[in-house]
């Protein structure tokens, strides 16, 4: 069993980005600038957005956090999106999800200019991804593809099973793994809540990506010997007495699954740090106008 050290790989890539920023500054350019819109005070969202802003500062990007009340109307939020779309000082931005129930997420995402959509959620970017055209890839699947590539894991012709079909992780993951590109070319099975006999699929998988948000869901008997297991789960579980008061639990029962694997990501320190890294990479591409 080898651990896929997302923290170390993320640090390496972020150091590379910091070098690129230094080169941009030496050339007289301004640093990349990421903005984030955060609506309301959801604990998880506040933590994630703050982590994104902090990561920007660490590698020399500019960042702007736009905090809005959760009473904001959909039209007012679209106005804010348009303001960022039209601000030449901002290279890319995200609207942190989930949004309050009275706001239609699709309407907000579609209001974002595709060239500034560094989350890769706009239908134009999703379509371009599916067609293997230049685009911003959604950060978590982008990060996972880089983990697989940087660990030198053989993917061509392998059977990959993705559990979970969310728009943010599972669906794009299945598309990226199936593409005719280096580090992909898998035969992909996308499993979800209506899948029958899930274990019959996972037991034949060379690569399993678990993204359903159920702690310790994947057990040892569900995988084959020597599989590669990627754990996207980050469920907060109360842990009184710890510094944060909670612990992050993955979707994989690590203690029993790990000994059976060839490669596995830990939680924390696996996929999580790569999500922010993917966003930072997209923001660098946006600053260089490399995709549009």
Of 5, 119, 231, 251, the residue at the interface with ligand GUN (CB under 6 A) is 119
Q: Is 170 exposed, middle or buried (0-12, 13-18, 19+ CB in 10 A)?
A: buried
Distance CA 47, CA 38 (A): 11
Q: In whole angstroms, how close is the CB of 95 to ligand GUN at the nearest point? A: 6
Q: In whole angstroms, how close is the CB of 154 to ligand GUN at the nearest point? A: 28
Write down the catalytic residue from 5, 119, 206, 231: 119
Q: In whole angstroms, how close is the CB of 97 to ligand GUN at the nearest point? A: 4
Distance CA 58, CA 31 (A): 12
* Token output for 223: 């995988």
Cβ-contact 197, 150 below 8 angstroms = no
Cβ closest to ligand GUN, residue 119 vs residue 251: 119
**Which residues 141-170 are close enough to bind ligand GUN by CB under 6 A?**
168
Cβ closest to ligand GUN, residue 52 vs residue 128: 52
Dump the DSSP string for 114-150: GGGBTT--SHHHHHHHHTT-S-PPPHHHHHHHHHHHH
Cβ-contact 61, 34 below 8 angstroms = yes
Element (H, E) at 41: none
Write down the catalytic residue from 80, 96, 146, 281: 96
Cβ closest to ligand GUN, residue 101 vs residue 194: 101
Q: In whole angstroms, how close is the CB of 98 to ligand GUN at the nearest point? A: 7
Reduced to 3 states (helix: H, G, I; strand: E, B; else coil), residue 218 is: strand
By CB under 6 A, how many residues form the interface with ligand GUN?
Answer: 7
Check residue 63 for interaction with ligand GUN (CB under 6 A).
no
Verify whether residue 119 is a known catalytic residue: yes
Check residue 111 for interaction with ligand GUN (CB under 6 A).
no
Distance CA 12, CA 125 (A): 27
Of 84, 139, 209, 267, the residue at the interface with ligand GUN (CB under 6 A) is 139
Cβ-contact 91, 286 below 8 angstroms = yes
Check residue 94 for interaction with ligand GUN (CB under 6 A).
yes
Distance CA 228, CA 166 (A): 21
The C-alpha R_g of the chain, in whole angstroms, comes to 19
Select the span of 9-17, 59-67, 80-88, 90-98 touching ligand GUN (CB under 6 A): 90-98
Cβ closest to ligand GUN, residue 143 vs residue 266: 143
Verify whether residue 243 is a known catalytic residue: no
Check residue 65 for interaction with ligand GUN (CB under 6 A).
no
Verify whether residue 19 is a known catalytic residue: no
Check residue 97 for interaction with ligand GUN (CB under 6 A).
yes
For residue 98, whether the previous peptide bond is cis, meaning omega lies within 30 degrees of 0, is yes
Catalytic (active-site) positions? 52, 96, 119
Instruction: Provide the binding-site residues for ligand GUN, judged by CB under 6 A.
Output: 94-97, 119, 139, 168
């Amino acid at each position: 069993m080898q651990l896929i050290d997302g923290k170390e790989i993320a640090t390496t890539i972020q150091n590379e980005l910091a070098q690129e920023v230094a080169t941009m500054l030496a050339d007289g350019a301004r640093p990349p600038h990421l903005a984030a819109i955060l609506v309301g005070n959801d604990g998880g969202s506040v933590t994630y957005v703050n982590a994104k802003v902090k990561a920007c500062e660490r590698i020399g990007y500019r960042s702007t956090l736009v905090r809005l009340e959760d009473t904001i109307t959909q039209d007012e939020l679209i106005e804010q999106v348009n303001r960022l779309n039209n601000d030449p000082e901002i290279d890319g931005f995200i609207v942190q999800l989930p949004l309050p129930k009275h706001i239609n997420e699709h309407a907000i995402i579609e209001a974002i200019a595709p060239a500034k959509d560094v989350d890769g959620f706009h239908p134009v970017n999703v379509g371009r991804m599916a067609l293997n055209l230049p685009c911003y890839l959604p950060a978590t699947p982008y990060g996972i593809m880089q983990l697989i590539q940087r660990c030198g894991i053989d993917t061509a012709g392998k059977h990959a099973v993705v559990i979970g079909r969310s728009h943010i992780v599972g669906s794009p993951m299945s598309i990226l793994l199936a593409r005719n590109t280096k580090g992909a070319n898998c035969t992909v099975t996308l499993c979800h809540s209506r899948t029958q006999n899930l274990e019959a699929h996972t037991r034949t998988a060379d690569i399993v990506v678990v993204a359903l948000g159920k702690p310790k869901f994947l057990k040892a008997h569900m995988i084959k010997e020597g599989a590669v297991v990627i754990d996207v789960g980050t469920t907060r579980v109360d842990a009184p007495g710890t510094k944060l008061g909670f612990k992050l639990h993955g979707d994989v029962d690590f203690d029993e699954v790990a000994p059976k694997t060839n490669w596995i990501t830990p939680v924390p320190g696996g996929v999580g740090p790569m999500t922010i890294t993917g966003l930072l990479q997209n923001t660098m591409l946006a600053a260089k106008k490399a995709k549009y």
